[in-house]
Structure 1
Amino acid sequence: MIPIHQLLIFCLASLIMVLTPGPNMIYLVTRSVTQGRKAGFISLFGVACGFLFHITFVSFGLTAVLMAIPFAYTLLKTTGVLYLLFLAWQAVKPGGKGIFDNARTLQHDTPAKLFTMGLLTSILNPKIAVFYLSFFPQFINPAYGSVLTQSFTLGIIQMMMSFTTNGLIILSASHVTRWFAGNPKWVRTQKWVMAGVFSSLAIKMALDKGK
């Protein structure tokens, strides 16, 4: 079983990640503002199911790879470091867009379409799987027991934190959009905060000595 202190670190990192505005938050907020909270929550259920899809495949994949190939963790670590540094650069690169620059008025959709769009948006986003592959190995150790169980544990924790946080954001979507619109300095600051989070995770992973 993963030690409690490791789980607490993972929870903190997951919370920071979910609080960092990204495509999912933008989609859920704009959908909630244009069609109401019910539409936002239906979309969120779809996104959550997409997370579960990725968690399942990544969990079985990590188990197979880490148990079959001795140097697989080194490969995953290197890929993860590069990916996290890329995300940090994307956050602060010159000419980058603000978190709601792509927000637009959406047409009203049926509940089935809202769920399906949320699901497909999540499933068809390869960055989610890459993020799990680069993030989970930092907290998984075969010495703690089943790699599969550890991976599912981390995945469920991350998904629950994401669902809860995004649910609260949906409930206050209109206030969130007004707050961002009225605080352009914070919007610029959050880009550097996001870059700092990604860079810190990359450094932590790079300094890890392996499992």
Structure 2
Amino acid sequence: MTLSKPKHTHFKIYKPYGFLSQFMSNAKHEQKKKFLGDLYDFPEGTMAIGRLDKNSEGLLLLTTDGQLSYDICSSKIDKEYYVQVDGMITKEAVHKLQEGVEIGFKGIKYITKPCEVTVLETPPNFPERTQKIRDDRHGPTSWISVIVNEGKYRQVRKMTSAVGFPTLRLVRIRVGDFTLDNMQPGQVIPTEVSL
């Protein structure tokens, strides 16, 4: 008798601004927060592969396969973000980001690994965010693409702040070969996943 591998399900989701990358919380202070389970009736055992913080948006992969989640999180797979920063970012700041900058995590200093950073000539065409970002009356903004293969807590936000250009909006558009495409915030698509 041969045992068949359990059938797992996988999803792509456009995590909207303001949602936590989890399905529930027992913490009293989080009872009124928005969770992924509010968007779709996911099967039991579904977990997020990596996370996006509450204020970040974009592509999030979900699976019922714990091993796949572990492999994607630990395999140094590229993650690409489009980031709107406060001010017109300079070549010097882009170069510093590419080389690695010092950020902090729980009181410990860390130098980020070299990564790919490019300035986007035209702003991406994302849907309007539920909470408005300040407008041009408060000064100019610029957009960059950041590709990293590590995932420290709030890393990209800390990186742009470290070079003097705080993040105003952050949207993950790619994880490995999976892309956000033209999905809308809150949209969930069952998908096939393989490494």
TM-score of the pair, normalised by structure 2: 0.25
TM-score of the pair, normalised by structure 1: 0.24
Higher share of residues assigned helix: 1
Higher share of residues assigned strand: 2
